[in-house]
């Protein structure tokens, strides 16, 4: 479907809103772009002044085990750099499929929409969230 060479694919933009990074994933995500995104986010956090990452997946129709792993790795890397990662807006069909596959994205906060993700990041860390 995607016949363009890998180098031509536009990377996913990472927006900074105050001390929060906002990433909106496109409907179709090339594996290479996902890896690129992972590096981008980690570098941006490492530059400092980032307390949280919000990944909006409301447009994503398919999450496979690879994308699930990328999300989990982004979260673990961010945690090492003292930032929290929140995944927002998963569709019901996607959630059902992931649950059926047993991919429950452990270690990731999931919320209904980006607004709640911002609320969550604005709230002080509770001891329960610190652990994940």
Please report, as ranges, the residues that interact with other proteins according to CB under 8 A.
88, 90, 92, 94-96, 98-100, 104-105, 110-113, 116
- Smallest separation (angstroms) from other proteins to the CB of 112: 4
- Smallest separation (angstroms) from other proteins to the CB of 14: 21
The bridge status of strand 20-24 relative to strand 14-17 is antiparallel
- Smallest separation (angstroms) from other proteins to the CB of 72: 13
Residue 45 or residue 89: which is nearer to other proteins going by CB? Answer: 89
Residue 81 or residue 95: which is nearer to other proteins going by CB? Answer: 95
Residues forming a β-bridge with 52: 20, 84
Would you say 121 and 20 are in contact if contact means Cβ atoms under 8 Å apart?
yes
Residue 79 or residue 91: which is nearer to other proteins going by CB? Answer: 91
Residue 80 or residue 115: which is nearer to other proteins going by CB? Answer: 115
């Amino acid at each position: 479907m995607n016949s363009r060479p890998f180098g031509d694919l536009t990377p996913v933009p990472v927006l900074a809103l105050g001390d929060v990074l906002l990433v909106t994933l496109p409907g179709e995500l090339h594996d290479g772009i996902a890896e690129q995104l992972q590096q981008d986010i980690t570098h941006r956090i490492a530059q400092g002044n980032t307390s949280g990452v919000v990944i909006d997946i409301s447009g994503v129709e398919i999450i496979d085990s690879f994308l699930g792993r990328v999300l989990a790795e982004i979260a673990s890397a961010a945690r090492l750099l003292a930032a929290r990662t929140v995944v927002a807006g998963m569709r019901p069909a996607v959630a059902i499929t992931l649950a059926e596959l047993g991919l429950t994205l452990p270690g990731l906060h999931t919320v209904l929409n980006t607004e709640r993700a911002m609320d969550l990041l604005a709230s002080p860390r509770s001891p329960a969230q610190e652990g994940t």
